[in-house]
Amino acid sequence: MLCKRIIPCLDIKDGRTVKGTNFVDLRDAGDPVELGAMYARQGADELVFLDITATVEKRKTLVELVRRIARELDIPFTVGGGISNISDVHALLDNGADKISINTAAFRDPGLLRSMAKEFGSQCIVLAIDIKQEDDREWYVYLNGGRTKTEMKAMDWARRGCDEGAGEILLTSMNHDGTRQGFALGILKEMVDELSIPVIASGGGGELVHFKDVFQKAAVDAALAASIFHFNEISIPVLKVYLTENNIPVRK
Amino acid sequence: MNERLPLAIIKYNAGNIQSVMFALERLGVNAVVTDNISQIQQANKVIFPGVGEASSAMQYLRERGLDQVIRELHQPVLGICLGMQLLCSHSEENDTSCLDIVPVQVRKFISESGEGRTKAPLKVPQVGWNNIYSLRTKLFDSVLEDSFIYNVHSYYAESSKYSIASCEYGVEYAAAVRKDNFYGVQFHAEKSAGVGAQILKNFIEL
């Protein structure tokens, strides 16, 4: 049976992981390669590396980093952050990334999704969408790491992205992100029911039960989290045992 | 310089070669990525990787005469993902005639929930980890039944007497096939953690 996936996300700046971790057994927790390899050993199903490096100049180091990660890691990984054209994608995939995630650039030019899917196949194109529920109860798409509001409704953009050739949707609720109060079950469930491609839930995972809920109630294909894994508040082996006990299929 | 290459990876217009190279490197194997016909013919083992689309891959192989070269290989050959599908007879992906080495049809997963089906519609492609069973041949030595492997695919090879591993996603299909010296795995062995490494190691040691 196809398993539900647990995906730690690592933020990268200038080639280093950004958020602190409290893993005492790592020589260098700031090294994305070492941290990623540790998650792989713990049983993470996939990893996402999100590059938040500000300058174009320093982004060149990302390709080198991707190569180092690919050399070390024996599970799939996605690279995202600031990807805006086909040649970015070429460089990342050629150096061993399995998938790329694209956000703002795809929104500005949805044709980019189509041309990327044609060139590389939908399976390696993850459409990341940041959304926020406003006072009118509607979910709106935000760009530029959540700084820019749009008038686009979340479902309309997700549907369009799917039609243009995205292979997966990575949906982050800004209302839930960082709260550790659980995932945005309602909108996630709507997306899962509506779209024919896998949906990855992001934002709000803080306790074991949140992961059970997002798989059972929203039926997502994968759940992503960052700090709770980095600070070892939830360890991946413990999470997987818990999900198995709750009859959720996960890789053992 | 007439030494036989231990392992050649066939270079063509379908990606993920770098990941396969790295996986072999982790096993301490030096592989050469090549589309040089005599290098491929003289290698001890050949890996035929692939992520991409069937008809354009077949066209590329035919234009370079690589299709006939692959058919005539006598050493162990391992097709991975699209590489495995191309070893089969025919693929529903753009109605493509493949290499026809393993007489099996490649079909598309049906995403619609058919009449009378109560199950939720399948997401296509299948993305993620699934378990393989009914494991046969040396390729799966030391691999436990129901081990997990990583998949990304919209098309699958039908179950047949050539299946040496099975998997289930809406239908039961061939997770791996073998005919004579030709092996194929649908999953990404190079991205399937320790299980995948064991399978690659078994192939190298065939």
Q: What is the ipTM of this complex?
A: 0.91
Of A75, A94, A167, the CB nearest to B18: A94
Task: Judge whether residue B117 has pLDDT over 70.
Answer: no
Residue of higher predicted confidence among B110 and B24: B24
Place of tokens 């992001």: A202
Q: Smallest CA–CA separation between B131 and chain A, in Å? A: 6
B168 contact residues in A (CB cutoff 8 A): 1
- A123 and B CB contact within 8 Å: yes
B190 is catalytic: yes
Q: From residue A85, give the alpha-carbon distance in Å to each of A53, A92, A124.
A: 17, 11, 14
pLDDT, position A54? 61
Determine the pLDDT at residue B52.
Answer: 79
Judged by CB atoms closer than 8 Å, whether chains meet at B19 and A96 is answered as yes
Mean pLDDT score of chain B: 92
Instruction: Exactly one of B72, B81, B145, B168 is catalytic; name it.
Output: B81
Domain ranges of chain B: 7-204
Q: Are B139 and B100 in contact (CB under 8 A)?
A: no
pLDDT of residue B2: 47
Phi, psi of B138 (to 5 degrees): -65, -20
Q: Which helix (H) or strand (E) holds A77?
A: strand A77-80
Give the CATH H-level superfamily of domain B7-204: Class I glutamine amidotransferase (GATase) domain (3.40.50.880)
Q: Residue B123 pLDDT > 70, yes or no? A: yes
B119 pLDDT more than 60 = no
Percent above pLDDT 70 for chain B:
92
Long-range contacts formed by B21-28: CB under 8 A, 24+ apart = B22/A70, B22/A71, B22/A96, B22/B190, B23/A74, B23/B189, B23/B190, B23/B191, B23/B196, B23/B197, B23/B200, B24/B200, B24/B204, B25/A71, B26/A71, B26/A74, B26/B197, B27/B197, B27/B200, B27/B201, B27/B204
Predicted pLDDT of residue A19:
63
- Report how far apart the first and last C-alpha atoms of chain B are (Å, whole number): 25
Residues of chain A with pLDDT under 70: 19-27, 29, 54-59
**Which tokens hold the place of A231?**
């600070």
Q: What is the pLDDT of residue A195?
A: 93
Residue type, B32: V
> Residue B114's pLDDT band (boundaries 50, 70, 90)?
very low
State the pLDDT at residue B61: 94
Which residues in chain B are contacts of A167 at CB distance < 8 A?
Answer: 125, 127
Distance between CA atoms of residues A34 and A73, nearest Å? 9
Question: What pLDDT shows up at residue B116?
Answer: 41
C-alpha to C-alpha distance for B191 and B82, rounded to whole angstroms: 15
Q: Which of A159-173, B58-72, B100-114 has the lowest mean pLDDT?
A: B100-114
Quick check: A96 contacting B, CB < 8 Å?
yes
Is there a contact between B128 and B167 (Cβ–Cβ < 8 Å)?
no
Query: How close B47 comes to chain A (CA, Å)?
Result: 17
Report whether pLDDT(B195) > 90: yes
Beta-carbon separation of B52 and A75 below 8 A:
no
Domains recognised in chain A with CATH numbers: 5-245 (3.20.20.70)
Closest approach of B15 to chain A, Cα-based (Å): 8
Across residues B4-20, what is the average pLDDT?
83
pLDDT at A21: 58
Mean pLDDT over B61-88 rounds to: 96
CB B84 within 8 Å of CB B186: yes
Whether B188 sits among the annotated catalytic residues: the reply is: yes
Q: What is the rounded average pLDDT of the residues B47-69?
A: 91
Q: Which of A1, A74, A123 sits opposite B191 (nearest CB)?
A: A74
